[in-house]
Amino acid sequence: MLRAFKTSYILDVYLQLFEEYQCTTLNTRILWTDHIISMDQEHIKFILSTGFEHFWRGRWQKERMERFLGQGIFNRDDEMWRMDLYSRFALDAASEFLFGQNLDTLSATLPVAGKTKMGPKGSATEDPWGSFASAFEMAQQVITARSRVGYFWPLFELFRDKNAPNAEVVHRWLDPLVKSALSEKEKMEKAGICSPVTEKNFLQHLAESTDDPIIIRDQLLSLLLAARDTTACLLTYVTYFMAIYPEITKRLRSEVLEHCGTSGSVTYEQLRNLKYMRAVINETLRLYPPVPLNVRESRAGGCTLSPSDSTYRASCDADVMADDPRPLHMPGSTAITFLPLLTQRNKILWGSDADVFDPDRWLEGERLSRFVANPMMFTPFSAGPRICLGQNYAYNEASFFLVRLLQQFDTFSLAPEAQPSGSLPPLEWKRRKGRQVEEKIWPAAALTLFVKGGLWVRIAREAH
Ligand code: HEM
């Protein structure tokens, strides 16, 4: 399996297991240890929402991530997780996002087409920003590799924690920000100045809630992970679709020009009117959810999972195991990996064209009603109490970015010759089934989804 993960299409290893055993939830039991995988929307609903109290991120996940994510929101349960700062932050959608200071990484060295090496996730550059990005991405790769090995990963790292050097680079970069926020706070306190809540950025809010630089740093890092890699992934895959489906780009662009004009900034009101844009974004999130899989651990007592989704069972041969309507036992302290990417491409839920990129499925009443009746079919932002806090922010940010891009450009095409070597899809994918047959890039996951080697495109303006 470990070897297959390296070369096979995203999550195909799991999909093949589900197909082989004709089910949507399965105990893989690797090295005598229960590890359950699920693409079953009923079970995902239970883990994230209705049975929330039976699960947590758990000890194993915490250990894998500790060195990198520390006490940040992604790596804590219960009290630490409940810090209300996040809800306030999300509600306020602070305009000075996160640091209140422009890090201006766009002015740092950009990767050069055809000359760039593959980084841990996208492409690599050799400058201070490049080393930060590389360590940041490498740390995510290490965590993903650990989860594939299972509970035994510490055996492979007996003499060195593979994330220690990555964490050091990332921390060195974040620590000055934390330090200056804390000293700023001290200065303000001494001077008896208290700025209004609405004027504070996220970092200042954090500094106000605690003096512990480690907690501040870890929360910043989690937010950076939440906001950087996910939104970048969404925009990357929208751009991929714009490059391979020019007619969709044309329709999207005419909507943008009609509602937002050919130049200038846009208002929330204008963004809200972009119905086709929202459909393109949703369809991209359906096929390429930036968090394609996730893990929870059952709490010590275990629990009962309802029977597999009945729509799925109805479609199976009557005599196979999956048709069993009995509830399932979820043992205590056991990992369960759930796979929104597979659920969101499941033909039984989405129809025979589930693998096809078709934004119109979000606009046509009858097709849309399927999803409205059953929202667990589509969970790119997760669900339940720990649903993404940046969802609206992300929709606005992505739409804004795309409006500004499409005001300027109308032609997008892939530049496979510029892809770093080893990042084009293997030929053997053509012999398989599903999206991989047509895929022009290599989707891969390390905590979040990305395009191996980065997505290289030519962007131009032809119409005047
Ligand atoms: C397209 C963009 C995004 C997607 C697809 C996305 C998706 C997700 C998902 C699936 C989770 C659940 C993770 C888990 O349970 O392990 C999550 C959590 C979270 N997201 Fe997002 N996210 C996006 C953008 C953002 C942005 C821009 C922010 C911040 C402004 C943000 C802040 C958060 C936070 C703070 C959590 C943790 C909530 C908790 O654990 O209680 N996300 N996101």
Question: Which tokens go with 384?
Answer: 């339940």
Q: Which residues contact 338 (CB under 8 A, 6 or more apart)?
A: 37, 38, 39, 43, 44, 47, 293, 294, 295, 296
Lowest mean pLDDT among 218-227, 309-318, 405-414, 438-447: 309-318
Q: Decide if pLDDT at 231 tops 70.
A: yes
What percent of the chain has pLDDT above 90? Answer: 40
Mean of per-residue pLDDT scores for the chain: 83
Cα distances from 250 to residues 50, 137, 253, 412, in angstroms, run 42, 34, 5, 10
Predicted confidence band at 285 (pLDDT cuts at 50, 70, 90)? very high
Strands 335-338 and 35-38: parallel
pLDDT exceeds cutoff 80 at 46 = yes
Chain segment 297-332, per-residue pLDDT in tens: 999 999 999 888 776 655 655 444 455 678 899 999
Q: Is the pLDDT of residue 34 over 70?
A: yes
CA of 437 to the centre of ligand 1 (A): 30
Residue 388 CA to ligand 1 centre (angstroms): 4
Which residue type does 112 have? V
Atom 28, ligand 1: which residue's CA is nearest?
Answer: 390
Residue 88 binned pLDDT confidence (cut-offs 50, 70, 90)? very low
Q: Is the pLDDT of residue 49 over 50?
A: yes
Place 92 in a pLDDT band, splitting at 50, 70 and 90.
Answer: very low
Mutate to test the pocket of ligand 1, among 388, 389, 395 (most ligand atoms within 8 A of CB): 388
Question: Tell me, what's the pLDDT at 80?
Answer: 44
264 three-state secondary structure: coil
State pLDDT tens for residues 171-220.
888 888 888 888 888 888 888 887 776 777 778 888 888 889 999 888 88
pLDDT of residue 97: 63
Q: For the chain, how far is it from start to end, CA to CA, in angstroms?
A: 52
Q: Which two tokens mark 458?
A: 């030519």
Q: To test the ligand 1 pocket, which listed residue (55, 76, 230, 233) has its Cβ within 8 A of the most ligand atoms?
A: 230
For the residues 223-250, what does the mean pLDDT come to? 89
**What is the number of the ligand 1 atom nearest to the C-alpha of 386?**
41
Of the pLDDT bands very low, low, confident and very high (cuts 50, 70, 90), residue 151 is: confident
> In sequence order, what are the beta bridge partners of 143?
none
What domains does the chain contain, in order, with CATH numbers?
Answer: 2-460 (1.10.630.10)
Residue with tokens 């219960």: 78
pLDDT at position 322 is 52
Task: Specify the higher pLDDT residue, 130 or 221.
Answer: 221
Closest Cα to atom 37, ligand 1: which residue?
388
pLDDT for residue 79 = 44
Cβ contact 462:413 at 8 Å? no
Q: Which of 106-110, 147-151, 217-221 has the largest mean confidence?
A: 217-221
Q: Is the separation of the CB atoms in 75 and 215 below 8 Å?
A: no
The pLDDT value recorded for residue 316 is 55
The percent of residues above 70 in pLDDT, for the chain, comes to 82
Among the ranges given (2-6, 68-72, 73-77, 148-152), the one the predictor scored with the smallest mean pLDDT? 73-77
Q: At 41, which amino acid appears?
A: Q
Nearby residues of 282 by Cβ (< 8 Å), 6 or more positions away:
359, 362, 378
* Closest ligand 1 atom, residue 395 Cα: 1
Query: Around Cβ 192, how many Cβ atoms within 10 Å?
Result: 6
Residue of 264, 274, 288 lying closest to 345 (CA atoms): 288
- Closest by CA to 215, choosing from 261, 174, 163, 164, is 174
| pLDDT beyond 80 at 84 | no
Name residues contacting ligand 1 (CB within 6 A): 73, 81, 86, 223, 226-227, 230-231, 234, 290-291, 294, 380-382, 386, 388-390, 393-394
pLDDT at 82: 38
Q: Is 328 helix (H, G, I), strand (E, B) or coil?
A: strand
pLDDT higher than threshold 60 for residue 365? yes
The per-residue pLDDT for 185 is 85
Are residues 248 and 411 in contact, defined by beta-carbon separation less than 8 angstroms? no
Helix (H, G, I), strand (E, B) or coil at 190: helix
- Residue 138 burial by CB count (10 A; 0-12/13-18/19+): exposed, middle or buried? buried
Of 43-52, 55-64, 124-133, 353-362, minimum mean pLDDT range: 124-133
Q: Is 316 a known ligand-binding residue?
A: no
Q: How many Cβ atoms are within 10 Å of 213's Cβ, its own excluded?
A: 15
Whether pTM exceeds 0.80: yes
